[in-house]
Structure 1
């Protein structure tokens, strides 16, 4: 029988005997060791890692951390190292879809449950403890739809994140779907910024040089948006070009509050990681069914409601709040993308 099938059978049996409360391994006196792997230096991944580290003791776990430097080979080596050190589970952001397939195969062979933050792949669902990510298309679509209500016509450009894992591609697809509600808005360029502020700044410089009458920029995260804003300021075009984004980073929320970013669809990496860790430890403890996709909690913000965004860098009381939230519910099989 497949390893995840064994976990599923055990989880169902445990669930039928439980009272419905979320159990933790701490109840059995065992401290779990969870490997947390982040692919690159983006603050999003670092804050996700910090959230998991802070929440772990409350879930009867400790976290050991790995960094893959956006290298598939380094990521696989990290998975192998974690397995060799007999971790109880792996919680990770994969570098790419092709990389995560190899990661999952290694973890399955070693009977180590693995939970993926982003990089959803339907063919892998039955082989993992779970996937968690925002509803990618809808996440970008909300930004595009908002823009159609606040800009009547003009040229729009997109600066994407690092392509290859599926999320950057889907954000752009969703944004363009939302933007289609106003045929007077035209996407004239789509260029990569690789989740990097400096690369996004250079990309924005090129975009406004090539399209001096540009009216809006959709930048797929706020770290890149800050770079794009710097380029717009230097070109004297910040008042001409609307900037919309995603994520809700602390510096992004500041830019929204002061009017440099007009809107952003936000999610907290710390909250995502805490939810992922709760689900993973539940799978390990046979109280949560493995093999599901979960959609992250999101908050769409503008200057008027910027304080509603969930924090990226919570204090311990914030972590306790995240731990007290209802556990995410899995996406129904019939609704899987």
Structure 2
């Protein structure tokens, strides 16, 4: 009997531990086979495993309607999570914030925060909307600015006009808007660079390929191709190659994202400029949510929204290092060392102020 009792107790311990673990659902706005968003979820899962959180990911497959339906089911259902992490892709956040009012589910925004007009509308009706625990957005505007600067630096010195075409993502996505704004700000520093056209490739390779074919016909002398993500950059490259032009030699290409294919393209020189690292933002949010679940303050500087410098320029050496880390389930990161647990009261999350190097 004693042996049976011990076995029963031992079997019940993991269940009790799991029952106490804070639960998180991430409404992933991307496609379930989309390299960036799948990698984003993987990094979040690595953080959850390290921190002892339970994480469930639901993909909206780039459909705002689907994201809202998923949110309704989660928030109105019998088994609500402790935390809901969402992205203001296609401006879905305000409605989800409204739906969460009174549910007890804590909300956290990543990558795309509320627009200024959305925030004003919500603040004007506090009884209608739940409070958002925190927001982590990336340094998108600075990344867009830095990309163009690094691209121009790769050109031979000349005062001759240089044609630029740009591939933005989606008009209703703040991250896309900010990256484009940074690129436009950088244009003021280079009067010789002529922005011929900005097109919205929807983050999609095939669409960017078709758009680039038309742009090449209109602007055959294009030497700079700025892209807000890697998939659009690869689509544009395909169009240039079909026209007999070699990326990295006949035109300078840039991209945002640190997918394995993008890292390899940076190593071989097809991508002259690559910004990446924003796939980590959800993992840092998990660190903060775990601290909140333990009763620790996470808005230690008095702010609920932070622009985090996760996007950084990736040179070939860094690309090689990151390729190795992407092959590891834990990404080589000890997430607990970034927690506020056991830290003095003036502790600040290190990832909020400087990029984490790998």
TM-score norm. by structure 1 comes to: 0.82
Correspondence list, 1:172-211, <5 A: 172-211=180-219
Deviates more, 1:146-155 or 1:312-321: 312-321
Alignment size in residue pairs: 304
What whole-Å deviation, never above 9, does each CA across 1:40-65 have from its counterpart, x for those lacking one? 21321111112222321322211122
Q: What's the counterpart of residue 244 of structure 1?
A: 254
Looking at structure 1, the residues matched to 327 and 71 of structure 2 have their Cα atoms a distance apart, in angstroms, of 28
1:118–1:132 contact (8 Å) kept in structure 2: yes
2:50–2:334 contact (8 Å) kept in structure 1: no
Gap change, CA 1:236 and 1:304, over 3 Å in 2:
farther
Are residues 1:257 and 2:267 paired?
A: yes
User: Which of 281, 288, 311 lines up with 1:279 in the alignment?
Assistant: 288
CA apart distance, 1:307: 3.1
Looking at structure 2, the residues matched to 305 and 31 of structure 1 have their Cα atoms a distance apart, in angstroms, of 35
Are residues 1:170 and 2:178 paired?
A: yes
CA apart distance, 1:120: 1.6
Which one has a bigger Cα radius of gyration?
2
Deviates more, 1:108-117 or 1:126-135: 126-135
Are residues 1:228 and 2:247 paired?
A: no
Gap change, CA 1:96 and 1:296, over 3 Å in 2:
farther
Q: What's the counterpart of residue 319 of structure 2?
A: 306
Aligned-partner SS, 1:162: coil
What whole-Å deviation, never above 9, does each CA across 1:154-199 have from its counterpart, x for those lacking one? 1001011122021111101101212321110111000011111111
1:299–1:309 contact (8 Å) kept in structure 2: no
Looking at structure 1, the residues matched to 149 and 67 of structure 2 have their Cα atoms a distance apart, in angstroms, of 37
Correspondence list, 1:82-93, <5 A: 82-83=74-75, 84=77, 85-93=79-87
Aligned-partner SS, 2:326: coil
Deviates more, 1:45-54 or 1:246-255: 45-54
Looking at structure 2, the residues matched to 168 and 74 of structure 1 have their Cα atoms a distance apart, in angstroms, of 21
Q: What's the counterpart of residue 88 of structure 2?
A: 94
CA apart distance, 1:108: 3.3
Looking at structure 2, the residues matched to 81 and 316 of structure 1 have their Cα atoms a distance apart, in angstroms, of 30
Looking at structure 2, the residues matched to 228 and 264 of structure 1 have their Cα atoms a distance apart, in angstroms, of 15
User: Which of 134, 138, 150 lines up with 1:146 in the alignment?
Assistant: 150
Deviates more, 1:215-224 or 1:303-312: 303-312
Correspondence list, 1:1-337, <5 A: 30-41=20-31, 42-83=34-75, 84=77, 85-97=79-91, 99-121=92-114, 123=119, 127-151=131-155, 152=158, 153-238=161-246, 239-269=249-279, 271-290=280-299, 291-303=304-316, 305-307=318-320, 309=322, 313-318=326-331, 320-325=333-338, 327-328=349-350
Looking at structure 2, the residues matched to 187 and 167 of structure 1 have their Cα atoms a distance apart, in angstroms, of 20
Aligned-partner SS, 2:89: coil
Unaligned 5+ residue runs, structure 2? 1-15, 124-129, 340-348, 354-358
Aligned-partner SS, 2:271: coil
Looking at structure 2, the residues matched to 46 and 316 of structure 1 have their Cα atoms a distance apart, in angstroms, of 13
CA apart distance, 1:323: 4.7
Gap change, CA 1:294 and 1:242, over 3 Å in 2:
closer
What whole-Å deviation, never above 9, does each CA across 1:278-325 have from its counterpart, x for those lacking one? 112323333133523241423202335433558783523425335534
2:257–2:276 contact (8 Å) kept in structure 1: yes
TM-score norm. by structure 2 comes to: 0.77
